[in-house]
Structure 1
Amino acid sequence: GSAITSSNWSPSSWRQKEAKQIPKYPDEEALKEAEAKLSKSAPLVFAGEVRNLSDQLANAARGDAFVLFGGDCAESFDEFSTDHIRDTFRVILQMALILTHAGSKPVVKIGRMAGQFAKPRSEPTETIDGVTLPSYQGDNINKEYPFTAEARRANPDRMIQAYDQCSQTLNILRAFSSGGYANLSRLHSWTLDFVEMTPAGSRYRKLAGVVEESLRFMKACGVNLNSPQFEKVDFFTAHECLLLPYEEAMTRVDSITGKWYDTSAHLLWVGERTRQPGFAHFEFVRGLENPLGVKISDKASPEDVLEILDTFNPDNIPGRVTLITRMTADGIRAKLPAIIKAVQAEGRHVVWVSDPVHGNGFKAENGYKTRS
């Protein structure tokens, strides 16, 4: 069963709906050129990989796997480096190792990278010293600094630059996940230098020691530790589906199944500000075969959540929808139990993911926004 409830969906049908958070491009010709170029570009991810993630998420929806989601709040062009990607990948591998060991369940590893540029903003403009300009919406749309009209103008060429960076990021991730770096026998070398001398570092080393003992035992029993399941790791990418001109241009029909996949990432999510039924983002993602994430804050009612599931997963396929709760600690206590009860009472299959980082922000004494 497909997610498409009616035949009137196409990758461009979102254009008939009201769109929130989509920048106004002053140069429409340049935008059309960028879209045309992207639509001819190679897919960043492949339908078979997306189906593999859907299968793994279905296991998680049944309670047979654990999902680990990690990465930057937003990627930038300036901070792009192989080392940065490797360190993020390494931390996720370490966390997955700890979770697998503690929970005795496989861990589905998803990085919010290779596409996490665009930022939803609460205000469309920003005013500094009496000058009002469009808000910074992420490196794939405009520039944060300097605070000038030129930098803040939405520039479609930045979509192409974002695609190129995503392509490089995925190339690096594919090499790390299959080229032996992810080999379990190297788990001691994953320890990041800065945690080496901390209590957490010593706890990790102890755990690594226990896992290595298990591996030695398996080897002694004749298990081949050079087989692919020890050498490789499945690593998937995800980002917020925000910049619809880019996402539409990256959407392709799968030649095997005839279904539509957004090839910019394995999993896409819609945010709290863009998940309203009847609006453009909701319309776009409902026709995709990719697994979908939906951010749920303490503003969401059980009825809202069931309506989302009716639209995105009418056939109740396990792994199709991941609900990502972004609530304060108090909000979770007050609101989440009723949502979980409603979903369970209706017999809906969902993956539950908690996002404790967003929604728990506060300004520290030094003025930085941080997380509790």
Structure 2
Amino acid sequence: MSSSETWRGLPIAQQPGWPDPVAFDSVIAELRSLPPLVTPGECDQLKDRLAAVQRGEAVVLQGGDCAETFAGATESTTTTKLTCLLQVAVVLTYAAQVPVIKIGRLAGQFAEPHSQPTETRGDVTLPAYRGDAVNGLELSPDARMPDCRRLLRAYHAGAITLNLCRAFTRGGDASLRQVHAWNMDFVATSPAGRRFERIATEIDRALAFMHACGVDPEQVHTVDFWSSHEALLLDYEAALSRVDPASGGTYDLSAHLLWIGDRTRQLDGAHVEWARHIRNPIGVKLGPQTTPADAVTLSRLLNPAREPGRLMFVTRMGADAIRRVLPPIVEAVSAHGSPVVWVCDPMHNTFVSPSGLRTRCFDDLIDEIDGFFAVHRALGTHPGGLHIEFTGEDVTECVGGEHDLAEGDLHRRYETTCDPRLNRRQCLDLAFTVADLYQSR
């Protein structure tokens, strides 16, 4: 068994029971024969960028859908999400005055962990929906049966999405010269949209000044963009792993960055063991039950060489726990001496509305982000950025924000297949709030 296969046989959580082992073996064999979606060199470049974040010289913005769908692998859906990500990044760059590393929760987020193995509606109980890579959202026995052929569809949908992302970020649509165009439709008339327009006008003036001086930097025409998803289905990830001839190391070439979820980060489990042998940058979600000893052990296991940019801890504590739980974790990791990029995921402040729809309160997200910054300011560590779940569409899934969505509004456009997402107006609201936190350092 090669070093990258040592996870097999270890305890492994959140895996579907594929009913047809012969078909499953055939699908995995086909995945192994398909081209990689990213290159080892790109993964190493992202690692270098994350090392700058760890040193306090840059900021991470990671975001996208809670769970991508095959139907969403379209030009309009992808470019709308990218536009939203770019708008937030411009606001943060303008405020923090440092580069923003833009990482999409895109082109692979087709599998989701679930707190319960089944879902019950009325008198019907069926397997839970685990993302389009596993089964269908429709509540029927056929749709909810895990189907390994969906793994191939996940690969091809990821390839389509990544191709669209590359075309958008390299073909001029992501140029700062297009900054006004990103602010169209329902966003432009919002308070945050008007505030963004003022920034866009100032950027225009700066570009005009640079042009008058004979300077036309390439960076305003293209954008570095990186893909990421949760490494949940390890058979899929292993099938897309390749040995880099140049370095001899193994990379998971399904995405630039892979993360391990809070439900699958068991120290003696398969996911951590798998990640130990992959050369990509690795993220780990740390929930409120994380202990300082857990974080130090994860640092030791996943980054024994203490390589800058290798390890990102994404804290998802909840607004009520972040100020209490995070400080001893940061102190222990800092004392251990392992370089870590600290990122805040405030999206787990969920509750069920009276109508039965799961939602999040915008103020709770801001409260957790404020606590994240306060902890790192007090300890002298760098608040490295954000991990958020959003869509560029005008959905009504999270309450609050400057537009003041109420619980009674949720039914209007509640479209998520998984957890509630911020819409683009709310993303800009959040961006300006975080920008103020960076400016106050």
TM over 0.5: yes
Q: What SS does the aligned partner of 1:353 have?
A: strand
What residue in structure 2 maps to residue 274 of structure 1?
Answer: 264
1:87-112 deviation line (CA, Å, top 9, x unaligned): 11011111111111111100000000
**Per-residue deviation, 1:268:** 0.4
Unaligned runs of 5+ in 1: 1-7
Q: C-alpha distance in 1, partners of 2:35/2:98?
A: 35
**Corresponding position of 2:351:** 362
Q: Which moved more, 1:118-127 or 1:249-258?
A: 118-127
2: CA distance between counterparts of 1:169 and 1:266?
Answer: 14
Equivalent of 1:287, from 277, 283, 296? 277
How far apart are residue 192 of structure 1 and its match? Answer: 3.6
1:254/1:260 contact within 8 Å kept: yes
The 3 A distance-change label for structure 1 pair 40 and 80 is: same
In 1, distance between residues paired with 2:203 and 2:155? Answer: 38
Give the TM-score, by structure 1 length.
0.94
Q: Give the C-alpha shift of residue 62 in structure 1.
A: 0.6
Give the distance between the partners of 2:212 and 2:135, measured in 1 at CA.
57
Is 1:245 matched up with 2:238?
A: no
1:326 maps onto 2:319 in alignment: no
Cα distance per residue 1:292-331 (max 9 Å; x no partner): 0000011001110000000000111111110001111121
Provide the secondary structure at the position in 1 that maps to 2:289.
coil
Q: What is the Cα deviation at residue 114 of structure 1? A: 0.4
Q: CA deviation at 1:81?
A: 1.8
| Counterpart residue number, 1:182 | 174
Name the amino acid aligned to 1:16: G
| Pairwise CA distance, 1:210 | 1.0
1:1-372 residue pairs with structure 2 within 5 A? 10-145=3-138, 147-224=139-216, 227-358=217-348, 360-372=349-361
Q: Which amino acid aligns with 2:38?
A: V
Distance 2:123 2:104 in 1: 39
One-letter code of the match for 2:110?
A: F
SS of 2:71's equivalent in the other structure is coil
Q: Distance in 1 between matches of 2:72 and 2:221?
A: 29
Distance in 1 (alpha carbons) for counterparts of 2:59 and 2:121:
45
Q: Conserved in 1, the CA contact under 8 Å of 2:303 and 2:338?
A: no
Q: Report if the CA contact (8 A) 1:50-1:267 is conserved.
A: yes
Q: Which amino acid aligns with 2:352?
A: K
Distance 2:128 2:4 in 1: 27
Report the AA paired with residue 111 of structure 1: G
Q: Which amino acid aligns with 1:136?
A: Y
The 2-side partners of 1:161 and 1:192 are apart by: 33
Code of the aligned partner of 1:171: N
Displacement, 1:15?
1.5
Letter in 1 for 2:201: G
Q: Which amino acid aligns with 1:364?
A: S
CA–CA separation in structure 2 for the residues paired with 1:245 and 1:48: 23
Distance in 1, Cα, partners of 2:199 & 2:122: 54
Hey, what's the Cα distance between the residues in 1 that align with 2:186 and 2:281?
35
CA RMSD of aligned residues (A): 1.3
Q: What residue number does 2:375 align with?
A: none
Percent identical pairs in the alignment equals: 46
Asked whether the equivalents of residues 9 and 287 of structure 1 are also in contact (C-alpha less than 8 Å), the reply is: no
Q: Distance in 2 between matches of 1:298 and 1:154?
A: 31
- Count of residue pairs the alignment pairs up: 361
Cα gap change, 1:197/1:129 in structure 2, threshold over 3 Å: closer, same or farther?
closer
SS of the residue aligned with 2:50? helix
Distance 1:198 1:129 in 2: 40
Distance, in Å, in 2 between the alignment partners of 1:129 and 1:155 is 25
- Alpha-carbon distance in structure 2 between the residues aligned to 1:43 and 1:80: 18
In 2, the alpha carbon distance for the partners of 1:338 and 1:91 equals 34
**Does the Cα contact within 8 Å between 2:72 and 2:78 map onto a contact in 1?**
no
